[in-house]
Amino acid sequence: MEERLQKILSACGAASRRTAECYLSAGRVTVNGMPARVGDKADPERDDIRLDGRSLTRPQAHTYLMLHKPRGYVTTLSDEKGRRTVAELVRSCGARVWPVGRLDLDSEGLLLMTDDGALTHRLTHPSHEVEKEYRVWVNGDTAAGLPVLRGPMSLDGVPLRPARVTLLEQTPRGDVLSVVIHEGKNRQVRRMCDAAGLTVKRLVRVREGALALGALPSGRWRRLTGEEIALLQEK
């Protein structure tokens, strides 16, 4: 069945659709030996589709999941204290996957899980800095705390990259912040808020890079699309 080449490249994990269009415009994609253009179609089961001379095949070997981690689950495959683990929530996926990065016991939200060791290593390496966005419900003097959160901060004597902090909502029960960071230090957002005199009541990761949690219900998981996998592999 013929499909647009942008979709095929995305499904193969070779590029996001937007990047695939750039590859096509640059003449880097061929179909049966002929240069392809944006908008062209091909049959991935029948045609010889190549990017920079390399044949493209759809990924089959690995599993990539997005989990909406609930509060009260540890981000491990097992726990010596008998606490509930995120592994219990993805047992039905058909593969032995592990978490990429972490969310602490009391935090919620987007957690990537996979059985792709190479991708896990790259995404968790200190040199790989990707934006992570959190919704944070806090109590305290937010007006005084915001300049602290937005200014120069350090943890354990190490300077942090400036965070983007936005006040989203003010309520009698507390305020809601959007906090965007690049590092992934242990309990970083909670420790930043503590340094700013704010008490975190709830913390939810809503985005990691280009991947957004969206409307995925708490405790549920879904498989990443080919385009989402390509976005992870591009960085």
CATH code where residue 200 lies: 3.30.70.1560
> What does pLDDT average to over the chain?
90
* Whole-number Å distance between alpha carbons of 65 and 111: 8
Phi, psi of 54 (to 5 degrees): -100, 130
* Whole-number Å distance between alpha carbons of 6 and 154: 43
**pLDDT at residue number 213:** 97
pLDDT of 235 higher than 60: no
**Same domain for 149 and 191?**
yes
Q: Which of 40, 47, 79, 104 is catalytic?
A: 104
**Mean pLDDT computed over 24-43:** 91
Could you tell me the CA-to-CA distances from 234 to 18, 114, 171, 230 in Å, in that order? 12, 17, 40, 6
* Whole-number Å distance between alpha carbons of 22 and 5: 12
**pLDDT at residue number 170:** 93
Asked if 48 is an active-site residue, the reply is no
**pLDDT at residue number 181:** 94
* Whole-number Å distance between alpha carbons of 73 and 70: 6
**Same domain for 143 and 201?**
yes
CATH number of 51's domain: 3.10.290.10
Domain count, the chain: 3
**Same domain for 119 and 84?**
yes
Q: What domain range includes position 146?
A: 132-208
**Same domain for 48 and 76?**
no
**Same domain for 195 and 149?**
yes
**Same domain for 224 and 195?**
no
**pLDDT at residue number 60:** 53
**Same domain for 202 and 137?**
yes
pLDDT of 186 higher than 90: no
**Same domain for 82 and 35?**
no
**pLDDT at residue number 205:** 97
CATH number of 227's domain: 3.30.70.580
Determine contact, residues 106/121, Cβ cutoff 8 Å.
Answer: no
**Same domain for 187 and 92?**
no
**Same domain for 138 and 97?**
no
* Whole-number Å distance between alpha carbons of 138 and 145: 10
